[in-house]
A and B are shown apart, each in its own frame.
Chain A
Amino acid sequence: EAGVVQSPRYKIIEKKQPVAFWCNPISGHNTLYWYRQNLGQGPELLIRYENEEAVDDSQLPKDRFSAERLKGVDSTLKIQPAELGDSAVYLCASSFSGRGYEQYFGPGTRLTVT
């Protein structure tokens, strides 16, 4: 069984440029999460989807970050415009509804903003 797929694995952009990350969750997982992980810190939740609905986006900086999960399967996280402080690893995870304690994470996208 394939795990959570994320692309790209690495991205280097200049500040003020846009960037997008893509995630394909494990088949059958209705719940999808986006996390951000700063160096030396644990992951922090940005947004959680139940199917197509964003049910927790309280930690998403909505002035520059957006996310979508149009068909309830794969998802895209976008930053526009990027700032130097956005440099981090962006992790996608998925789980079965009702088993949110057992999340399966992808390898992440390492973003460097210069």
Chain B
Amino acid sequence: DAKTTQPPSMDCAEGRAANLPCNHSTISGNEYVYWYRQIHSQGPQYIIHGLKNNETNEMASLIITEDRKSSTLILPHATLRDTAVYYCIVRAGDTGTASKLTFGTGTRLQVTL
């Protein structure tokens, strides 16, 4: 699976959009981008994933560049409860379990008043 690069930490004011970048310049054509987050003292939580089109769900939006070498997770109106470590993961395939999730060190997002 392709390696990802994320900033170690970011701050965001409550109510503002949080834009979390991820670089995956060596991504292959069959690899998807997945985002998880881990709130303190909890297990990771799946957020969203995509291949090449932008995706949106009730939690966030995922913007993938046209060359697929980077992506941005957007939390449109961050709240204090969004304070967490956010992991960007690149993994082959959209179904099945043949390829495991490889977590890096992620981005620690601090949402402040």
Contacts and interface: CB of A to CB of B under 8 A. Distances in A.
Interface of A: 4, 31, 40-45, 48, 50, 55-56, 91, 93, 95, 97-108
B106 A107 contact: no
Contacts of A95: 97
Nearest to B108: A40
17 contacts: A41-B103, A41-B105, A42-B104, A43-B103, A45-B100, A91-B43, A99-B95, A100-B97, A100-B100, A101-B34, A101-B93, A103-B46, A104-B46, A105-B43, A105-B44, A107-B43, A108-B42
Given A97-B97, A98-B96, A100-B96, A105 B103 contact: no
Interface string B13-42: 000000000000000000010100000011
Nearest to B32: A101
Interface of B: 32, 34, 41-46, 49, 87, 91, 93-106
A36 B87 CA distance: 16
Contacts of B87: 42
Contacts of A50: 97
B57 to A, nearest CB: 11
Which among B32, B34, B101, B106 has the highest number of chain A CB atoms within 10 Å? Answer: B101
